[in-house]
């Protein structure tokens, strides 16, 4: 089946750990849509909820540690953006746990937007900084 989302080169940062974790988020979204398409709504909802919650904790922690290690000057702003999304995911997650389908749809839409706007634009800023300063 065709993926709902392809992890094209435009989303890649050329930083291995980040690209792997970002790719995992895209895979998660594709898997969720696959389950939905097959009519496994409850499984899709539970899988999405569990995986997205883990992602916003693990990936954000790893990425912030990396940004600190390279001395990225906009780390604090980046952390605020992560914290806001994490908070919104945590709120949605509680509702999704209670089989709230509106929250589930909202979570799917927010994740889709997150990939395009955050991974595709905001994360790209640190990648540019990293590649420019590497080896100096
Ligand atoms: Fe990221
Ligand atoms: Fe980020």
Domain that holds residue 64: 14-133
Is position 1 within any domain? no
Is position 76 within any domain? yes
Question: What whole-number percentage of the chain has pLDDT above 90?
Answer: 90
The pLDDT score that the predictor gives to residue 135 is 63
Is position 7 within any domain? no
Tell me, what CATH number does 59's domain have? Answer: 1.20.120.50
Is position 5 within any domain? no
Is position 100 within any domain? yes
Q: Starting from the CA of residue 21, give the closest ligand.
A: 1
Number of domains comprising the chain: 1
The pLDDT score that the predictor gives to residue 136 is 62
Q: Starting from the CA of residue 59, give the closest ligand.
A: 1
| Residue that has been written with the tokens 């749809």 in this structure | 105
Residues with CB under 5 A from ligand 1 (ion): 63, 123
121-134 pLDDT per residue, tens: 999 999 999 999 98
1-56 pLDDT per residue, tens: 568 888 888 899 999 999 999 999 999 999 999 999 999 999 999 999 999 999 99
Element (H, E) at 77: helix 75-97
Is position 4 within any domain? no
Calpha distance 126→22 (Å, rounded): 14
């Amino acid at each position: 089946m065709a993926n709902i989302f392809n992890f094209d080169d435009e989303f890649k940062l050329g930083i291995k750990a980040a690209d792997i974790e970002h790719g995992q988020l895209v895979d998660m979204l594709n898997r969720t849509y696959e389950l939905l398409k097959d009519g496994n709504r409850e499984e899709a909802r539970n899988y999405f909820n569990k995986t997205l919650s883990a992602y916003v904790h693990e990936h954000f922690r790893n990425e912030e540690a990396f940004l600190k290690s390279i001395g990225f000057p906009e780390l604090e702003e980046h952390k605020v953006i992560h914290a806001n999304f994490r908070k919104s995911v945590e709120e949605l997650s509680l509702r999704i746990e209670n089989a709230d389908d509106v929250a589930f749809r909202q979570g799917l839409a927010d994740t889709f937007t997150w990939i395009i706007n955050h991974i595709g634009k905001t994360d790209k800023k640190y990648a540019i900084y990293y590649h420019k300063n590497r080896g100096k």
